[in-house]
Amino acid sequence: MRILYVIGTRPNFVKTAPVIGVLRRRHPEGRHTIVHTGQHYDRLMSEVFLSELGVPAPDFMLEVGSGSHAGQTARTMERLEPVLADEKPDLVVVPGDVNSTLAAALTAVKMGIPVAHVESGLRSFDLTMPEEVNRIVADRFSEWLFLHSPEAVTNLRAEGIPEERMHMVGNTMIDTLVALEERFRTAGSAARLGVDPGSFLLVTLHRPALVDGSLLGETVSQLAALARQMPVVFPVHPRTRKMMEGLQPDAPGLLLTDPLGYLDFLSLVADAGAVLTDSGGIQEETTYLGIPCFTLRDNTERPVTVTSGTNTLLGLDPQAIARIPALLTGGPRTPPSPPPLWDGRAAERIADVILS
């Protein structure tokens, strides 16, 4: 069997690394081709992740880079098409919900190549999020839908997706976390940054709805104010860094860093007093690790992290940041109870389905 994996962004690498690893091990006679679209290209956003996660060097680098949604998607499709024509894969595997996912699914389906979508069925029901559009299209055109939470089944049924295309396998992002837990638990990133474990708020923000407009200024002011009560560590995504130009706050206790590698970042998550984010994956990682997570969005496509995890939706409201210290004094933390099948073996289940 010829399997071709299309990856392009940080979260893609984390979700796909275990799938590539397991399928290569269990199907060594097959051809495994990795295509990196180049949606993320800075060393700290790509190379560092791939090497820490043990992803083999990509066979094809499409180098599509940044741009408008149409430009980025179109460039990916145009550059992927000849690769698929030459490689003739039996299956194209796409993870997540980024523009690379959408472009790869569309290119493959139009060439009659079956698509497998990892992390299928998530819905925020907010079509202003680019990711929501990407998810719906990828799911609609994928032959194999790999799911990690019960809501995904409900969402896909409501869209008329046939039952036989759905496979509840669990969460491959958690596979990566489990595989590297020993390494990040001993990475000591908090000490290197000079903050005490358990004391600090770890922040990541990069969604256009929050960082591309006027809300970013208010958010940074709120973080600077909060940093007087608890240290704030904020590794800044390049999109956010660009939008923060002219907003560099000089607040003691607020530590802005470059984007971090996987091990450094997970080391900080595990040692954080709490996490503030608008990312999807981090809502899941904090749920698994039992770290309180505050999500600065009006909705989440991952409600299981609220109902059976540690996630609290604050709303798309920077002023809600001031409530975090009070929300944290809610008594002793309950031990983490990850959703079913978030156990480190999701990629094995994906391989069971694909190889059968």
Which residues contribute to the site for ligand UD1 (CB under 6 A)? Answer: 9-11, 39-42, 45, 66, 97-99, 130-131, 206, 238-239, 242
Encoding tokens for residue 8? 């392009």
* Rounded distance between C-alpha atoms, residue 213 and residue 242, angstroms: 12
Smallest gap from residue 116 Cβ to ligand UD1 (A): 19
Tell which residue, 342, 298, 340, has the closest CA to residue 207: 298
Smallest gap from residue 117 Cβ to ligand UD1 (A): 15
Smallest gap from residue 216 Cβ to ligand UD1 (A): 13
State residue 334 phi and psi, 5-degree precision: -80, 150
Please say which residue, 23 or 234, places its beta carbon nearer to ligand UD1: 234
State residue 163 phi and psi, 5-degree precision: -55, -40
Number of C-beta neighbours around residue 81 at 10 A: 14
Residue 206 falls in the annotated catalytic set: yes
Smallest gap from residue 1 Cβ to ligand UD1 (A): 28
Dihedral sign for Cα atoms in the order 114, 117, 120, 121: negative
Identified catalytic residue from 32, 40, 117, 206: 206
Fill in the DSSP letter of residue 72: H
Tell which residue, 122, 131, 104, has the closest CA to residue 38: 104
CA gyration radius for the chain? 20
Pairing of strands 166-168, 115-120: unpaired
Dihedral sign for Cα atoms in the order 277, 279, 283, 285: negative
Smallest gap from residue 48 Cβ to ligand UD1 (A): 11
Dihedral sign for Cα atoms in the order 278, 281, 282, 286: positive
**What residues act catalytically?**
206
